Structure formats: structure tokens, C-alpha cells
Amino acid sequence: MKAYSRFSDTELADLLKSGDRTAFTEIFNRYNSLLYIHAFKKFNNKEEARDAVQEAFAMIWAKRETLMVKSNLVGYLYTCVQHKILDQISRNKTARNYLASLQNFIDEVKEGTDDLIRLKQLSAIIDQEINALPNKMREIFELSRKKNLSHKEIAAKLNISEETVKSQVKNALKILRVKLGLFVYLMFMIRF
């Protein structure tokens, strides 16, 4: 039986290339702790460090036949672990960015939905108060604010004087201001 613990890194790498599982186990036992410490210093997280080292060893086993260890095995192993560390950091950053983006989207949708609900409620209150105006005043007011007709156009359309139109719109605004309050009145003026 071979004493794998006595083999050099180059001999172990050659045996690994030929598919020798015991050589792989010896390499793992020889360098696992050192690679783990290296990864832990980068992550400061036991699980992530362990995952990076295990992924590196899994990749080494999967690519054992094409393994290109030129000078030293430990340098090759550190490089493999370093690549896994960078991959993990990139995945973590991507995941954080995705979660932040998703949270922003949820916040915007929620805010937009809340605004939409408030706007619909406000519109319903305003429409209710406009409908409560006397008929002629309501008709003139709606032509002015909802149809955007000028006082002159409303006067011509309804066969009344411009002064009557002006007076009716002014009175309607006074009534709405009192009933809806200043805030709702200002919102209404911005909306229409």
C-alpha cells in the first residue's frame, strides 16, 4: 500500500489526474484547513468559506483529467479557491442588488397604489359635492372645469351673460371650498 502522506504535491497531482481517489483525499486533507482559513478571512463567514473551499475541490475533482499544475499544487489550489470566493462575492452582490431592486419596486407599487386609492376617494368626494350644487350652477361649473370651456364659450352655449357665468363659477368655488376644506379644494384645482 502506498503512503500518500509521503508523496510530494507533484506526485499527488499526477495521481489525481489519473483518477486516484486516495490522492484526492490526501490533497484535501493536506490543504483543506489552509484554504478554509484563507476563504474565511475573505468572507468572515464559516458557511460561505466552507462552501467556497468545497466548490473548489469539487471543481478540481471534476476537471482532474485536464488538471494543469505547472509548478506547485498549493498555488493552484489557492487560485481555484480565490476564483470561487470571487464567484460567491459576485453572486452575493447580484442577489443583494436584485433584492434591493425588488424592494424598491414593491415600495413604488405600494406607494402608487396608495396614492391611486386616495385620489379615487378624493375624486368621489369632489364629484359628490359638485353633484350637490344647484343644477344651473353645477352645469356651468362642469363646463368650466371639466370641459375647459371659457366663460365666453359657456355664455354662448347656454344663452346667458358672461357675468352670470363668472358669478356662478365663483359661487360654486366658494361652496366647494367651504364643504371640502382648503386642502381638498387645492387638490381639486390642481386636478382640473
Distance between CA 120 and CA 191 in Å, rounded? 12
pLDDT at 108: 67
Query: What is the distance between the terminal CA atoms of the chain, rounded to a whole angstrom?
Result: 93
Mean pLDDT over all residues of the chain?
80
Distance between CA 152 and CA 90 in Å, rounded? 67
pLDDT at 189 over 60: no
Distance between CA 35 and CA 24 in Å, rounded? 15
What amino acid occupies position 14?
A: D
What amino acid occupies position 25?
A: T
pLDDT at 25: 92
Per residue in 145-176, pLDDT (tens digit) is 778 888 889 899 889 998 998 888 888 888 87
DSSP string, 80-122: HHHHHHHHHHHHHHHHHHHHHHHHHHHHHHHHHHHHHHHHHHH
Q: Which domains does the chain have, with CATH numbers?
A: 4-99 (1.10.1740.10), 132-191 (1.10.10)
- Scanning the structure block, which residue is given the C-alpha cell 371640502? 180
pLDDT at 129: 78
This prediction has a pTM of 0.48
CA torsion 127-129-134-136 (nearest 10°) is -30
What is the total residue count of the chain?
192
Distance between CA 135 and CA 127 in Å, rounded? 14
| 107 vs 64, higher pLDDT | 64
